[in-house]
Structure 1
Amino acid sequence: MHRRGTVFEELAVEVMAELPTDEARCEVLELVELVRADPRGWPDVRDPGSVEEIREAFGSRCWIQFMPQAGAVEVREIGWAG
């Protein structure tokens, strides 16, 4: 799945499809847009020694794990607590 400078990994696409409401999907996509605007403004959570830059961002009821890419972000995981 691609969305304006964002690539969603397969697991993230599956989670998006399983979110309970359109409101939930909108909340996740709003967080993705915030991340896309400033991908390095969120905490780096990679394991020591990892070469992949992995970051996490949190909304009020959701979170995403992503990797900044050249001009884009790759959403790897989505969590929903709503």
Structure 2
Amino acid sequence: MKIVNKAVEMISKTNLDGQITPVKFRLIEEDESWIEIKVDQVLTKELNKLAGNKMWVYECQSLISGTLKRYQLRYEIDTCRWQLFKI
């Protein structure tokens, strides 16, 4: 997987216990067009602490442009921001 570290707009769902699950996100490409990706499957979810920031790390996979791809999404707890970290 290649590190891209891009901020994304996310649609997520939260259950009664407060657990967050990503559903769909979109990001800006280099040509300033938007790409929208539906999260087909969350493979793993773990809580990490990087540089003092707590974040949820989600390993996911989706069908993107006809190809099944794995990628990593990160949710920073303190800032409430989502990132596409690796793809």
TM-score, structure 2 normalization: 0.36
The structure number with the bigger radius of gyration is 2
Which structure carries more helix by proportion?
1
Structure with the higher fraction of residues in strand conformation: 2
Relative contact order (alpha carbons < 8 A, sep ≥ 6): 1 or 2 greater?
Answer: 1
Q: TM-score, normalised by structure 1?
A: 0.38
